[in-house]
């Protein structure tokens, strides 16, 4: 009986841990994407590159995606 309880406890622990990791990964992935885009904009500005507007548009889009991912994660914990 104790083996069965131990197996159930370990299974439950693994399930909870993987669920937490899976749920939090989307906003953190989007946050990393925003950071990357921000660095691209700063780099383009420093170089005097003509693609600053394009890089800024990508950054704005990434920020919007991040905000939506955070809203979704708050609605569906």
Decide if pLDDT at 34 tops 70: yes
In a domain, 5, yes or no: no
In a domain, 33, yes or no: yes
Instruction: Tally Cβ neighbours within 10 Å of residue 34.
Output: 20
pTM above 0.85, yes or no: no
Q: What range does the domain containing 35 cover?
A: 25-77
In a domain, 53, yes or no: yes
**57 vs 15, more confident:** 57
68 in Cβ contact with 29 (< 8 Å):
no
In a domain, 16, yes or no: no
In a domain, 9, yes or no: no
Overall domain count for the chain: 1
In a domain, 44, yes or no: yes
In a domain, 13, yes or no: no
pLDDT category, 17, cuts 50, 70, 90? low
pLDDT category, 77, cuts 50, 70, 90? low
Query: What pLDDT score was predicted for residue 29?
Result: 80
45 in Cβ contact with 52 (< 8 Å):
yes
In a domain, 1, yes or no: no
How many angstroms separate the CA atoms of 16 and 72, rounded? 19
């Amino acid at each position: 009986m104790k083996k069965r309880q131990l197996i159930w406890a370990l299974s439950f622990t693994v399930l909870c841990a993987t669920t937490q990791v899976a749920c939090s990964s989307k906003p953190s992935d989007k946050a990393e994407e925003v950071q990357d885009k921000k660095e691209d904009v700063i780099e383009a500005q420093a170089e005097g590159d003509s693609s600053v507007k394009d890089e800024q548009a990508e950054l704005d889009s990434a920020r919007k995606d991040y905000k939506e991912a955070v809203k979704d994660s708050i609605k569906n914990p």
